[in-house]
Amino acid sequence: MPTDAAGGPAPTPAEESSASAVVTRFGAKSETYAMLVWRRFRRSTMGMIGLVLVMLLLVVSIFADFFAPMDPRATNLPFAPPDLIAFEDPQGNFSLIPYVYPIGDTGEFDPITYQPLTGAVKDDPTPTGFFVQGYSYRLFWVIPTNIHFFGSTDGRPIQLLGTDKFGRDILSRGIIGSRISLMIALAVVTMTTIVGTLVGITSGYIGGAVDAWVQRFVEFVLAFPQLPLYLALTSLIPVTAPSNVFLTFVIFVMAVLGWAQLSREVRSKTLSLARIEYVRAAIAVGATDRRIILRHILPNVLSHIIVAITLAIPSVVLLESFLGFLGFAVKPPLVSWGLMLQDTGTFSVIGSYPWILSPVIFVLITVFAFNALGDGLRDAVDPY
């Protein structure tokens, strides 16, 4: 048997592979904090579902025109019911390519009320397909194209979620509206995160009179009734103002009133971190305040900030939907989920045309996705 450098017998190939596996598993390869968080996050089923849904929402919002089967500005029959989509041809045979059957009068009457019955009209179905040609748009606002992910192959309209009072397709408008609603949420959360983090770290680290005065201002912002202020500030913009100006003002108002809670949370964590030994050691060796904040305090607060972001986005989406329902969010010709919910203002409309409530589905999916992602991240970054 051959010997190794120490004079003993050399290990066999099987022993070498087993030893390398043990070393690799128990310490030869160190894992970063991000890898540890990802490994714990993968064990959360709801967190992974939320991550997948969030990625799908972002992809759909970025390529909204590609996924919208109809022109969101095109008008057809007002309050048309949702079409029936089925994987069978008019003869009843199974088909891999789905057909869309419009809902109309079947020619039959209810035996008790003698009201005309509605159902799928299978005489002339609309053939559908993937990557079909439709209305023209600009991909990334630059490349002109007319290819859509799903739609009718013969150019006839399809309304999978019905139409609104102007005959516009609700599904297409909901997909296009995701771009505005998510953009508002991401912009507001970005601004509130930056301001809240800076104010919270500065107030907690400096302390003293600065901390006292800053916290009194934060308490004033938190105690102020936000809904009346939202309505009052958004009413200052004239109706004739451009949509971009109104949208910018709405984002600014939401950000001004939304940073205080995060700053309070970041301040409390900064107060506890400023008393840890390695921070005191950095102060003792003469490290600058900027280095201590950026290298020692901010990385330890970052995990809490990431979780706060994922939990704040659904709150902003709900707030935008509520303000849009009241008429204080975006203005036409822009489309958002809150603006679409204005059609549900009367009970008679909801009772006669319940599919008008379809935009609520988009809001529920978005809120569930970000809440599930935030819960999974919260357990992963701080398992104890």
Q: Are residues 222 and 328 in the same domain?
A: yes
Same domain, 275 and 310: yes
Question: Domain check: are 276 and 354 in the same one?
Answer: yes
In a domain, 230, yes or no: yes
Determine the pLDDT at residue 114. Answer: 63
Pair (226, 153) in one structural domain: no
Examine the domain organization and report whether 147 and 214 are in the same domain.
no
Cα gap 245→339, rounded to integer Å: 17
Using the 3D structure, point to which of 123, 158, 193 is the last residue of a domain.
158
Give the pLDDT confidence score for residue 317 in this predicted structure: 87
CATH code, 351: 1.10.3720.10
Number of domains the chain is built from: 2
**75 within some domain:** no
Mark the ranges of the chain whose per-residue pLDDT is less than 70.
Answer: 1-30, 104-110, 113-120, 233-234, 239, 329, 345-348, 382-384
* pLDDT at res. 9: 56
Q: What is the pLDDT of residue 19?
A: 46
Tell me, yes or no, whether 212 lies in a domain: yes
What's residue 353's pLDDT? 81
Q: Is residue 268 part of a domain?
A: yes
Question: Are 130 and 184 members of one domain?
Answer: no
- Determine, yes or no, domain membership for 6: no
Boundary residue ending a domain (109, 125, 158): 158
Question: Is 149 found in the same domain as 207?
Answer: no
pLDDT attached to residue 7: 53
* 256 and 314 together in one domain: yes
Are 201 and 251 contained in the same domain? yes
Each residue of 307-357: pLDDT tens digit? 888 888 888 888 888 887 777 767 777 888 888 887 776 666 777 788 888
Is 224 within a domain?
Answer: yes
* CA-derived radius of gyration, the chain: 29
Residue 286 lies in a domain: yes
Same domain assignment for residues 214 and 328: yes
Residue 324 structural domain: 45-65+172-381
Whether this model's pTM surpasses 0.95 = no
Of 158, 185, 214, the last residue of a domain is 158
pLDDT digits (tens, 9 = 90+) for 157-199: 888 888 888 888 899 999 998 988 889 889 999 999 999 999 8
**Residue 49 and residue 87 share a domain:** no
Task: Return the pLDDT at 279.
Answer: 79
Residues 249, 320, single domain; the answer is yes
pLDDT at 22: 46
